[in-house]
Chain A
Amino acid sequence: MSVLVNKDSKIIVQGFTGSEGTFHAEQMIEYGTNVVGGVTPGKGGQEHLGRPVFNTVLEAVEKVGADTTIIFVPPAFAADAIMEAANAGIKVIITITEGIPVADMVKAADYIKDKDCRLVGPNCPGVITPGEAKVGIMPGFVFKKGTVGIVSKSGTLTYEAADQVVRQGLGITTAIGIGGDPIIGTTTKEAVELLINDPETECVVMIGEIGGQLEADAAQWYKNSGSKKPIVGFIAGETAPAGRTMGHAGAIVGGSDDTAQAKKRIMRECGIHVVDSPAEIGLKVKEVMSK
């Protein structure tokens, strides 16, 4: 088992023939991901990286049965690409694009809310189920197969966490990069819920950062669920000053509730094993899994 993506996912790439789309699609195919085609409006009928190019997402759904998409479309057109995928019946929409205007995401989030689909991102590294499917921009070799699920707002910090877990002789079921924007499709709580409910996942690593309420919501849900699966948590940004955006558009301390300290306190109260040092994530996972 795994969540969101696996070896049977039929994946298309939106923004397939652009430089980002091409580079990462190549890496995904090399990893063994089941990429069935791509979409670039106006280039339908061509072949790219040995896969068919379609003009619309609907065509890709009809002709090759696509059920999952990864979006590399430039920010000005990315929200439209999300809505097109949802409209065409795609089930999992993974959006890598960084820098989408907030107003566009307000519209897209509203449009897809009644559709039968799940959006991951935007501004995220994607999702990987080791050995089955890499639907993202992460370095595949870092993620060895195992029983630890990862949920994270950040790219390189996800790789760091996965690497630490693997160095403890453990591995990953699925790693979900949810993204660092103010509006994201899959929240920390939803991603944690997916992994807690996955029979193969025995422990969850939850990596958050300053800004917003997502980690607190996830912690509350975990406490109420009564789950016995351990969660190891880390929140980046203890030293970030209030009122400044730290790289990710959503990473900003607005009030006293969204500081790293406040989040960690709530997580601890809800039974999450919080580490203060980002260098101790792997060790803590090993420790709680040995109990």
Chain B
Amino acid sequence: MNLHEYQGKEILASFGVRIQRGIVAHNAKEAVAAAKQLTVETGTGWHVIKAQVHAGGRGKGGGVKLAKNLNEVEEIAGSIIGMNLITPQTSAAGKKVHQVLVAEDVYYPGETETSEFYMSVLLNRSTGRNMIMYSTEGGMDIEEVAEKTPHLIYTEEIDPGTGLLAFQARKIAFNLGLSGTAFKEMTKFVAALYTAYVESDSSMFEINPVLKTSDNKIMAVDAKVSIDDNALYRRKQYAEMRDLREENPIEVEAGALGLNYVDLEGNVGCMVNGAGLAMATMDLIKQAGGEPANFLDVGGTADAARVEAAFKIILKDPEVKAILINIFGGIVRCDRVAQGVIDAYKNMGTINVPIIVRLQGTNADIAKELIDNSGLDVQSAVQFQEAADKVKQVLA
């Protein structure tokens, strides 16, 4: 589950990680009040107004701006809230901004130059251990750094038995070229960050940039935090942070019905049991000349109610020109799925797109007979290739 920057920072701060402080505002008036309060609390003169949406590259899209006085705070907050923010990570339509974070200015001048670093905590899938990935090249697109200067990216893997060790934190601070107060601050920062990662059951932290301020403090200026969905049952306080406005509404609705659905941009909808087979079905649609309109795993129980729910979800997408149902019946009997399809079809009245049903496995023959004799405008197939050929025909 992805969180907003301000939520991620809240979690970090609760584990003692130093953050760039800020207050959330939902309109220009609130933003001005937040700015005043922040000046009292932190002494900051200038303010940074940051759009809170689940997408990276906000600065590039004009969603992060510096305000040098309260008039500018009001003006900038007013223009960012309500805008459709388009960044390299959003769709072409962009994402609507509902709130901004009014944050303190941390790039103030002082005794030393400021510097920016990159740091993330994530699972190394090949070793099954967590690792801290970091770089001297902060504030930049890390994929670009990885491509152009891979030697500037370091990793530190953590033994689950011991947790992060003191020498590892020192190694990170040394590799980032720090000394004196900043060095000590960085070792504390890294230790607190790793504790926060483990204790919050996160699946990803990305702090870009980590800033060394002109007075040698180390802090998280941004925070991209994802919590492990499987662990939300024991992290209820974070589960409550979910912002449904940031998610695709059809996906949210499908999730509530227990369907695993991902909205795509194609023209052939599909309904499949099992994630691997669902992906394979999408690939087959493409090879048949179509484009998959969705990923949809109906899971183990494909009864009439579930099939009907899945139909309704798929048909919400006006681009869908055909639907391919691909069920491999194992424990689930195909004849029951076929009956489910027929019942759902009848309940819904007319479905105005061609439907191809491919049922294979337990009682597949009976299922095909049921479909063929139903009198409905549904084509049946038994072999995977047959289904692909029928998709090709209806698209032609």
Which residues does chain B contribute within 8 Å of A244, judged by CB atoms? 262
Do the beta carbons of A212 and B125 come within 8 Å of each other? yes
Complex: how many Å from CA A106 to CA B281? 32
In the bound complex, do residue A138 and residue B128 qualify as a contact, i.e. CB atoms below 8 Å apart?
no
Tell yes or no: A41 within 8 A of B by CB: no
- The CA of A260 and the CA of B287, in the complex, are separated in Å by 14
- Contact yes or no, A247 B278, CB < 8 A: yes
Interchain CA distance A105-B201 in the complex, whole Å: 12
Q: Which of A137-185 contact B (CB under 8 A)?
A: 137-139, 141-142, 152-160, 163-164, 180, 182-183
A-chain residues with CB within 8 Å of residue B230 when the two chains form the complex: 75, 99-102, 249
Contact B126 A213 (CB under 8 A): yes
Interface pair A183/B276, CB less than 8 Å apart: no
A106 and B128: CB pair below 8 A?
A: yes
List of B residues within 8 angstroms of A47 by Cβ: none
Q: Nearest Cβ in chain A — how far from B186, in angstroms?
A: 25
Q: Are A103 and B328 in contact (CB under 8 A)?
A: no
Identity of the chain B residue whose Cβ is nearest the Cβ of A243 in the assembled complex: B89
The answer for the CA separation of A139 and B331 in the assembled complex, in Å, is: 6
Residue of chain A at shortest CB distance from B297: A247
Shortest CB-to-CB span from A7 to chain B, Å, is: 22
Asked if A103 contacts B275 (CB within 8 A), the reply is: no
User: In the complex the two chains form, is A103's CB within 8 Å of B279's CB?
Assistant: no
Q: Which of A65-73, A81-89, A198-206, A230-238 contacts B (4 or more CB under 8 A)?
A: A230-238
| Selected contact of A180 from candidates B229, B266, B275, CB within 8 Å | B275
Pair B275/A139 contact, Cβ less than 8 Å: no
List A contacts of B134 (CB < 8 A). none
From A105, A213, A238, residue with most partner B Cβ within 10 Å: A238
A244's nearest neighbour on chain B, judged by CB, is B262
Q: Is the CB of B228 within 8 A of A102?
A: yes
Q: Is B362 an interface residue (CB 8 A)?
A: yes
Q: How far is the CA of A251 from the CA of B125 in the complex (A)?
A: 12
* Inter-subunit contact B277/A276 (CB<8 Å): no
Residue pair A246, B231 in contact (C-beta under 8 Å): no
Q: Are B330 and A157 in contact (CB under 8 A)?
A: no
Min CB gap B247→A, angstroms: 12
Contact with A along B264-283 (1 / 0, CB 8 A): 10100000111111111111
**Out of A100, A156, A279, which one reaches B274, CB within 8 Å?**
A156
- Given A102, A157, A213, A247, which contacts B123 in the complex, CB threshold below 8 Å? A102
Q: In chain A, what residue has the closest Cβ to B280?
A: A278
Contact residues of B between 324 and 361, Cβ < 8 Å to A: 328-331, 360-361
Contact B125 A105 (CB under 8 A): no
Q: Are the CB atoms of B279 and A209 closer together than 8 Å?
A: yes
Task: From known contacts A106-B129, A106-B130, infer whether A155 and B264 are also in contact, taking CB-CB under 8 Å.
Answer: no
- Count chain A CB atoms within 10 A of each CB in B128, B198, B295, B383 and give the residue with the most: B128
B292 interface residue per 8 A CB criterion: yes
Assess the A278–B360 pair: CB atoms within 8 A: no
Give the A-B contact count at a CB cut-off of 8 A. 164
State whether the Cβ of A240 lies closer than 8 Å to any Cβ in chain B: yes
Contact A183 B125 (CB under 8 A): yes
- List residues of A (96-136) whose CB comes within 8 Å of B's CBs: 99-103, 105-107, 109-110
| Chain B 360-375 interface mask (CB, 8 Å, partner A; 1/0) | 1110000000000000
The answer to whether A276 touches B287, judged by C-beta atoms less than 8 angstroms apart, is: yes
B155 close to A (CB within 8 Å): no
Residues of chain B lying within 8 A (CB to CB) of residue A278: 280-281, 283-284, 384
User: Any chain A CB within 8 A of the CB of B180?
Assistant: no
List the A side residues contacting B291 at CB < 8 Å: 239
B213 lies within 8 A of chain A by Cβ = no
Chain A residues with CB under 8 A of B388 = 277, 279
- Annotate B281-301 by CB proximity to A: 1 below 8 A, 0 otherwise: 111111100011001010000
Q: Is B260 an interface residue (CB 8 A)?
A: yes
Tell me, in angstroms, the Cα distance from A239 to B126 when the chains sit together: 24
Report whether B284 and A277 are in contact in the complex, using a CB–CB cutoff of 8 Å.
Answer: yes
CA distance A156 to B275 in the complex (A): 8
Bound together, the chains give a CA A255 to CA B122 distance in angstroms of 14
Query: With an 8 A cutoff between CB atoms, is B111 at the interface?
Result: no
Question: A78 to nearest B CB, angstroms?
Answer: 10
* Contact among B233, B292, B329, B331 for A76, CB-based, below 8 A: B233
Query: Counting CB contacts under 8 A, is B41 at the interface?
Result: no
A238 — which chain B residues lie within 8 A by C-beta? 282-283, 286
Residues on A with beta carbons closer than 8 Å to the beta carbon of B279: 209-210, 236-237, 239-240, 246-247, 251
Whole-angstrom distance between the alpha carbons of A213 and B127 in the complex? 11
**Known contacts A152-B276, A239-B285, A141 near B362 by CB under 8 Å:** yes
Contact across chains for B328 and A156 when beta carbons are under 8 A apart = yes
A129 to B231, CA, bound (A): 34
Given A182-B125, A236-B283, the answer on whether A247 and B260 have CB atoms closer than 8 Å is yes
B269 to chain A, nearest CB (A): 13
Contacts A102-B230, A103-B231 given; indicate if A248 touches B129 (C-beta within 8 A): no
Interface positions, chain B 238-277, Cβ under 8 Å from A, are: 260, 262, 264, 266, 272-277
- B129 surroundings in chain A (CB, below 8 A): 106, 110
Find chain B residues with CB under 8 A from A250 CB: 125
Task: From B228, B277, B292, give the contact of A160 (CB < 8 A).
Answer: B277
Contact B384 A154 (CB under 8 A): no
Please give, as numbers and ranges, the residues of chain B lying within 8 Å of A76 by CB-CB distance: 233-234
Which chain A residue lies CB-closest to B364?
A163
Chain A residues close to B by CB (< 8 Å): 27, 75-76, 99-103, 105-107, 109-110, 137-139, 141-142, 152-160, 163-164, 180, 182-183, 207, 209-210, 212-213, 217, 234, 236-241, 244, 246-251, 255, 260, 276-280
- 12 further A-B contacts with Cβ under 8 Å, apart from A155-B276, A160-B280, A237-B279, are A101-B234, A102-B201, A153-B276, A156-B273, A182-B125, A209-B276, A212-B125, A236-B277, A239-B285, A247-B274, A251-B275, A277-B283
Instruction: Give me 11 A-to-B residue pairs in the complex whose CB atoms sit less than 8 angstroms apart, sorted by A's number.
Output: A102-B201, A102-B231, A183-B128, A213-B125, A236-B277, A239-B264, A246-B279, A247-B279, A249-B229, A278-B284, A279-B384
